[in-house]
Amino acid sequence: MQQNNIDETLQRYFGFRAFNPGQRAVIEQLLAGHSALAIFPTGGGKSLCYQLPALLLPGLTLVVSPLIALMKDQIDALQQRGIAAARLDSSLSADEYREVFNQARSGALKMLYVAPERFNNERFRATIAGLPIALLAIDEAHCISEWGHNFRPDYLKLPEYAQSFAAERVLALTATATRAVEDDICRAFSIQSDCAIRTGFYRPNLTLLSSAVSAGERDATLLARIRSRASGPVIVYVTLQRTAEEVAARLAEAGFSARPYHAGMKNELRAETQEWFMQADDAIVVATIAFGMGVDKSNIRYVYHYNLAKSLENYAQEIGRAGRDGEPSICEMLVCMDDLNVLENFIYGDTPTQAALQSLLDDLFSQEEDFDISQYELSNQHDIRPLVLRTLLTYLELDGYLAGGTPFYANYQFKPLQSSAEILARFDEERRTFLGNLFRLAQKARTWFTIDVQQAAVQLSTQRERIIRALDYLAEQNLLEVKVSGIRNRYRRLKRPDSNAALAEALFQRACKREAAEIARLQQVLDFASMQRCQVNGLAAHFDDQRSEPCGHCTWCLHQQSATLAERHSREIDSDIWNQAIALRRETPQLHDPVALVRFLCGISSPKLSQSKLAYHPLFGSMVDVPFKMVLSHVRPEGK
């Protein structure tokens, strides 16, 4: 591809005369037919690296991103520039879904954005398999690595899909890849080392500050900072949804335009808050990490961490949302040692018990050689969080015990948009007979019919794929409206473990190792905050960007001192609450397991706690500020 085509496209569609560092190198690799990895800091212009090639390559660019906000913002911006882009997500109606695919099939669509979970949809995979994929772009690619800070098992299947869809080239993108994570990404997608483009981590316009505070003075400190600042949009990051509500309310009472944002809010309210923040010049949003991922607002002037960041990777992503326009911006972390209890409790609460792992393995390896399961049902049955369960199943695949097949929907519902006679009259005799038999097998409710596709395939002596293709075709022709539910995952048992107990122990140790890594990440945040040298250089070094010249605008460079960390304080266990908890435990089977009781007291939800509504009990979270292991040491002597 000639250079002038790249430059002309850059200016014509994106309005830029020059590239950011690294962008041209990545784009040239892709246009030469190579797969590539782009490791740019947040705000470094990663999205242009697939958006521009998408306009120059024949075929479709498929963008995989877990960030719904990014999809919406980028597609709105692309469409305003006259670029054909769309997304597939749960907010689309059946008609909108069909229209997107019709555009993709016709070649009118240049970019299609999807979440990684979309690949669990067999209808989606069947459609994509027939399209020419010129480029598969994978955002947040660090999620594929066990060594990454946000490992997502769904990402591990993406290399397989890249091959099965015959994607001509792959672009992996991340802002937070250490060297180990970079190696994992390159290995997974067969990216040559010279096609991994890493730009410098340093952002000269960001001032990084760390201030030690006690829990009692934190609100006053934040309020003082916001009162004394020059105007400009602000993000305040917190750990808990409840904290987002409380801090936003206190700021609003003080006369500031502040709103909360977290995953517990209704979708409509979250979207409204995001839209408000995007349009306002002096808005303050108090948010969990659910906010900001992919939000394209260039003039965010201040990012405050009211609570400790979970890791340096999270911290780097979150401060990276400030000052994308290159103007000076301030990022300050309020370092309160009391935060450690809550953050550590969430880490410990994620680790499944050895007993839960044993019962999971007993369940899986008692199945037939070929079997299917509902991950939702397994999660509830064995009290293992869904993400943790998916990770465990992925481990069993990687270790050669199971081979994962194509997930499928157990339940199909359809609503005829014409009479059965009118629908059948459109087809030849063979298809008319097949569809008539299929309709007779469906169970009718008031307006919707429900059909068990697997059972229908057996009764009709056909493949389930034929039934699904038939229903999809009827939906495309506006003869039926189709809804699917009840996703099930197929597996084949490749081998049995010599001992379920020994394998449960090995998986438990693996989970404990990951737990220790997460705890170590927390310590890295404290080490960064109290670092007695240039903190910007220390953060850059974490991402293998070695700088020798001090930045001149971090806490250490400005004051020749760092945050002095206070002693960590933990509340003692209240004897009255403890006695109430033990009494509740005796009459509540879901709390008989020691770890289940500790999760309950520390405010950590689990599938069984949610199922039994115990998360609404007054004692739930009554020891949220007591260390998990301290509570556990009190529970275990109590026995069952």
pLDDT tens readout for residues 146-158: 666 677 888 888 9
Task: Specify the higher pLDDT residue, 121 or 111.
Answer: 111
Cα 62 off chain centre by: 18
In tens, the pLDDT along 32-82 reads 999 999 999 877 789 999 999 999 999 999 999 887 667 777 888 899 999
Average pLDDT in the 558-582 region? 88
29-42 in b/e form (b: 16+ CB < 10 A) is bbbeebbbbbbbbb
Maximum pairwise Cα distance, the chain? 86
Residue listed under structure tokens 């991402």:
543
pLDDT computed for residue 89 by the predictor: 80
**Residue 259 exposed, middle or buried by CB count within 10 Å (0-12, 13-18, 19+):** buried
**Cβ-contact 439, 420 below 8 angstroms:** yes
Consecutive H or E run containing 171: strand 170-174
The model's confidence at residue 638, banded by pLDDT at 50, 70 and 90, is: low
* Phi, psi (deg, nearest 5) at residue 85: -140, 150
Whether pLDDT at 288 is above 50: yes
168-182, 357-371, 585-599: which is most confident:
357-371
Q: Which residues contact 603 (CB under 8 A, 6 or more apart)?
A: 345, 620, 621, 622, 623, 624
Pair 286, 236: CB distance under 8 Å: yes
Reply yes or no on whether the pLDDT at 294 is more than 70. no
137 compared with 76, residue with greater pLDDT = 137
Q: b/e string for 411-442 if b means 16 or more Cβ within 10 A? A: ebbbebeeeeeebbeeeeeeeeebbeebbebb
Q: Do residues 465 and 405 lie in contact, with contact meaning Cβ atoms separated by under 8 Å? A: no
Ranges 5-9, 569-573, 588-592: which has the least confidence: 569-573
Give the amino acid at 581: A
Lowest mean pLDDT of 38-47, 132-141, 211-220, 332-341, name the range.
38-47
Check residue 522 and report its DSSP letter. Answer: H
- The single-letter code of the amino acid at 126 is A
Amino acid at 298: S
Spacing of C-alpha 329 from chain mean position: 27
- Residue by residue, DSSP assigns 252-307 as HHTT--EEEE-TTS-HHHHHHHHHHHHH-SS-EEEE-TTSSTT---TT--EEEESS
Number of Cα atoms under 13 Å in the Cβ half of residue 537:
14
Tokens encoding 369:
């050689």
Strand partners, 64: 114, 138
With CA atoms as reference, report the closest residue to 35 among 125, 138, 104.
138
Residue 162 buriedness (CB in 10 A; 0-12 / 13-18 / 19+): buried
User: How far apart are alpha carbons 521 and 347 in whole angstroms?
Assistant: 11
Q: Is residue 88 within 8 Å of 114, Cβ to Cβ? A: yes
Average pLDDT, the chain: 90
DSSP string, 95-157: HHHHHHHHHHHHT--SEEEE-GGGGG-HHHHHHHTTS-EEEEEESSGGGG-TTSTT--GGGGG
| N-terminal to C-terminal alpha carbon distance within the chain | 70
Task: Read off the DSSP letter of residue 573.
Answer: P
SS3 169: coil
Query: Which segment of 130-144, 315-329, 401-415, 549-563 scores lowest on mean pLDDT?
Result: 401-415
Average pLDDT over residues 587-598: 92
Which pLDDT belongs to residue 1?
45
- Give residue-wise pLDDT tens across range 447-481: 899 998 888 999 999 988 899 889 988 988 889 99
Q: Confidence band (pLDDT; 50, 70, 90) for 123? A: confident
Element (H, E) at 391: helix 386-398
Task: Name the nearest CA neighbour of 530 among 364, 310, 333, 386.
Answer: 333
What gap in Å lies between CA 124 and CA 4, rounded to an integer?
A: 37
**Are 559 and 208 in contact, with CB atoms under 8 Å apart?**
no
What angle do the packed helices 535-542 and 500-529 form, to 10 degrees? 160
* Angle made by CA atoms 64, 65, 70, in degrees to the nearest 5: 130
Amino acid at 273: T
Task: Look up residue 124 and give its amino acid.
Answer: F
What's residue 147's pLDDT? Answer: 63
Q: Do domains 3-198 and 206-344+517-559 have the same CATH topology?
A: yes
| Cα–Cα distance measured from residue 181 to residue 149, given in angstroms and rounded to the nearest whole number | 9
Contact (CB, 8 A) for 172 and 141: yes
Q: How many residues does the chain have?
A: 640
Residue 115, token pair as written in the block: 């979440």
Cα separation, 74 vs 581, whole angstroms: 49
Identify the CATH homologous superfamily for domain 206-344+517-559: P-loop containing nucleotide triphosphate hydrolases (3.40.50.300)
Instruction: State the Cα–Cα distance between residues 309 and 316, nearest whole angstrom.
Output: 9
Average pLDDT over residues 530-549: 91
What residue segments make up the domains of the chain, in order of their start? 3-198, 206-344+517-559, 375-495, 575-638
Q: What is the pLDDT of residue 640?
A: 44
Q: How far apart are CA 563 and CA 552, in angstroms?
A: 16
| Average pLDDT value for residue range 393-409 | 86
pLDDT grade for 357, boundaries at 50, 70 and 90 = very high
Residue 71 buriedness (CB in 10 A; 0-12 / 13-18 / 19+): buried
Report the candidate in 243, 240, 61 with the shortest Cα–Cα distance to residue 134.
61
Q: Give the single-character DSSP code of 554.
A: B
What CATH architecture does domain 3-198 belong to?
3-Layer(aba) Sandwich (3.40)
232 three-class SS: coil
Q: Cα angle at 281 between 279 and 283, to 5 degrees?
A: 85
Q: Which long-range contacts (CB under 8 A, 24 or more apart) does 182-188 make?
A: 182/37, 182/39, 184/144, 184/145, 184/146, 184/147, 184/148, 185/37, 185/141, 185/142, 185/144, 185/145, 186/37, 188/144, 188/156, 188/158, 188/159
